[in-house]
Amino acid sequence: AGPVSEVVGRLSSGAIIGDLSLVGLGFPRIASVRAKTSIRYIRISSAGLLSTLVCFPGFLGTSEGWLSLAAESLQKILPAKSEVVRSLSLFAGFGMDFISDLAVAGERRVVIFDSVLIAQGSAGGTLSVLEHGRCSVDVFGNKVAEIPTGNCFGERTILGSSEAHATIRVCTPFALILQTGAQVQFKSEFHQVGGAKFEQ
């Protein structure tokens, strides 16, 4: 037998269907919304909404409080920071002492749409794990790639790169990142344990 459908709520005129904090992530919906009467509605695609935000970033100004609450709720169900770091293939083969030290030095940050996390040409110094949201990778003002949830960026700083080769910018309504800012203390062990392998 398939899953049993359960009614968990009802919507009336003026309701907004969809979660702004999940726009652009491609996550599967956890519930279905079914019309019980004839209705008229306006559908705004994720791409359309994100395009609007590019032109009118102040649109989120009235939603920042709500997004912060959503981010706060999200953090309560995220895995421990050490588990997040350990899940990265970048650190495969490293000991738990190193993983724990890196996690302790990490801080979770909530950043809003269009925030620049790394500017091209800037000095390095942080390793970041994207726990929620997506970021664009821009080179000389042109978008060349996107970073999805579960990936890290800024790892070149561990390898001694003097400056960032691209700009990393939040391209969803908000992003939640785990960021470490004290890379000097980790460089030595990184090179001893797996730096050569990563450089390859």
- Mean pLDDT, residues 55-68 taken together: 69
Residue whose token pair is 């990184």 = 190
Question: How sure is the predictor about 142, in pLDDT bands with cuts at 50, 70 and 90?
Answer: very high
State residue 184's pLDDT score.
47
> Per-residue pLDDT for 118 more than 70?
yes
- Consecutive H or E run containing 26: none
Question: Are the C-beta atoms of 179 and 127 separated by less than 8 Å?
Answer: yes
Which segment, 28-32, 45-49, 150-154, is predicted with the most confidence on average? 150-154
Both tokens of 154, joined, read: 């800024």
The dihedrals phi and psi of 86, each to the nearest 5 degrees, come to -65, -25
pTM of the complete model: 0.70
178 near 84, Cβ under 8 Å? yes
Alpha carbon distance 24, 146 (integer Å): 11
Average pLDDT over residues 162-176: 87
| C-alpha to C-alpha distance for 197 and 125, rounded to whole angstroms | 21
Say whether pLDDT at 167 is over 90: yes
CA-angle at 153, arms to 150 and 156, nearest 5°: 145
